[in-house]
Every structure is written in C-alpha cells, then in structure tokens.
Amino acid sequence: MALRTAIADTYEAQGLATDSGHLLPTSGADAALSLLSAAYLRPNSRVVLGFPTYPGALALFRGARARLVSQPLTPAAGTSPPWIVPSRLPGRP
C-alpha cells in the first residue's frame, strides 16, 4: 500500500487527482498486459495494435486467443483509426 500511496502522491504533486486505491503497480509491461488480458479478453476478442508494436504484446494477446488487428502508426495514418469511436469502446459511457 505504501508504493501505491507514493505513486498517487507523485501524481497529486503534479496536479493530477489520483486515488491510490485505483492503482495497480506491476513488475512490468508483460505483467500489466497479462492482467488486462485476463480481466477483459475472451477468446476471439478483437485487439487493435499499432504497427510496429511490442512483440511481447503479440505473444500475450495470441495466448489469450484474441483476434489481432494491425493499425499502422505513421504520420499519414495518425494514431487513431477513423473507425474507432471512443464512445463505443467497452467501459465507456
């Protein structure tokens, strides 16, 4: 709990309201992606990944039997595909 509080205090000092109970420190990117996969993905869930992407993410999402969709990350393509509407993402109002 002390680590969560220290992280929250750091964000608070930068002007970002943060509740330490909403933080889940992990040992790294793979651990975080693994937790997210277990919580949110079911077989055949669609995962949109930027290309190029982190190879560890590919392995984790394939292990979760997700369907991977590649989105090129170029200045011409931008960083948000036009067919993603934020209000339609799971968990969004």
pLDDT in tens, 42-63: 999 999 988 888 899 999 999 9
Residue 49: partners with Cβ closer than 8 Å, 6 or more residues away: 57, 58, 61, 68, 69, 70, 71
Tell me how crowded residue 30 is: count the other CB atoms within 10 A of its CB.
Answer: 14
Q: Is the pLDDT of residue 89 over 80?
A: no
Average pLDDT over residues 65-77: 80
Confidence of residue 83 (pLDDT cuts 50, 70, 90): low
Distance of CA 28 to the CA centre of its chain: 13
Confidence of residue 41 (pLDDT cuts 50, 70, 90): very high
Q: Is the pLDDT of residue 13 over 90?
A: yes
